[in-house]
Structure 1
């Protein structure tokens, strides 16, 4: 185990965001009329719209709620919504000029660049903040006290951080892992 730099970078893998338009949607009709829209009520209760220019996929529900998933940067989330809203307006569906977009979950990854003994780490962290059942899942599930994120820790030093709403929350989670590893003698971050 070698010393690492003071900061470990994170990479956003997926952003889940939501917005609401102020009317109910006829999802069956919308699935037929929306260019790029797919509606199959046996598979999903809403319309699936894949942005043609971004990685964002939009899920439109009858209630008017719209979830974006698949993008890995906020600009793609915003662009995906802009494209969708333009299509909706063309179909005569009223969409306010700038519907509020809320980030629900950032999924990020990081690499600590060390190998970890997850059995020893599980004992060191204690059962209050972790779940580790290697027969069921190869990673250690770490729920740091006081923050609302979950970090999957793998024996190759890679992390998956979920539940954050901002990039700074993601970085706080990584720093918490590094701090605990140092406290437990796994590394000298």
Structure 2
């Protein structure tokens, strides 16, 4: 069985209060934990930041939510969320525990052999697959909870799940179906 590689963990933090983005942008521009701050309300309704030391992208919204993109593991995502919460607790002076949720894990795998995508489309069933090589070089396999891209090279990309065990199971199931075709 192939081992999936997590390439992106996306999630949110929800604070129980609205955030004044202009004031937050001003404060962030003076903080060492933030390597980049962009707030252009005429163009975007959110505050864009990069958190040190790895320049992870964190977007803040007036509603009190923030999005974290770019965690390379679930642990890394939670480390970033902890750093963001520590900074926000210092700035906003709250005592509650913000809600932290993972909304998507993107993982890749390589089965190590080429795959006849036309044959795979029939094997997986037309109701679950899209394959239009003129439009996109991969077969798109859709399940209720996730999407799996299958490339002719044998590379897989799984997106839409929120738990690494589920991602691993989905990739293992696809791998076993691919072995029947290859």
Normalised by the length of structure 1, the TM-score is: 0.85
Unpaired segments ≥5 residues, structure 2: none
| Contact 1:58–1:66 (8 Å) recurs in 2 | yes
Higher mean alpha-carbon deviation, 75-84 vs 101-110, is at 75-84
Q: Does 1:181 align with 2:173?
A: no
Q: Deviations over 1:134-164 (max 9, x none)?
A: 11110000014xx511100000000000001
Please, which runs of 5 or more residues in structure 1 have no aligned partner?
1-6
Counterpart of 1:119 in structure 2 is 118
Q: CA deviation at 1:55?
A: 4.8
Deviation (angstroms), 1:97? 5.4
Q: Distance in 2 between matches of 1:152 and 1:96?
A: 43
Instruction: Point out the more displaced range, 96-105 or 135-144.
Output: 96-105
- In 2, Cα distance between the equivalents of 1:89 and 1:116? 50
SS at match of 2:181: coil
- Residue 79 of structure 1 is matched in structure 2 by 79
Conserved 8 A contact 2:5-2:108 = yes
Match of 1:152? 149
In structure 2, what is the equivalent of residue 14 of structure 1? 8
State the number of aligned residues. Answer: 176
Secondary structure in 1 matching 2:98: coil
Moved over 3 A (4+): 94-98
Give the RMSD, CA atoms, in angstroms.
1.7
| Matched residue, 2:24 | 30
TM-score, with normalisation over the residues of structure 2? 0.88
- Of Structure 1 and Structure 2, which has the larger fraction of its residues in strand? 2
**Counterpart residue number, 2:161:** 164
Q: Tell me how far apart the structure 2 counterparts of residues 38 and 15 of structure 1 sit (CA, whole Å).
A: 22
Aligned pairs for 1:98-117 (under 5 A) are: 98-117=97-116
Aligned counterpart, 1:50: 50
Do the aligned residues in 2 keep the contact of 1:108 with 1:160 (CA within 8 Å)?
yes
Contact 1:54-1:76 within 8 A present in 2 as well: no
2:17/2:64 contact within 8 Å kept: yes
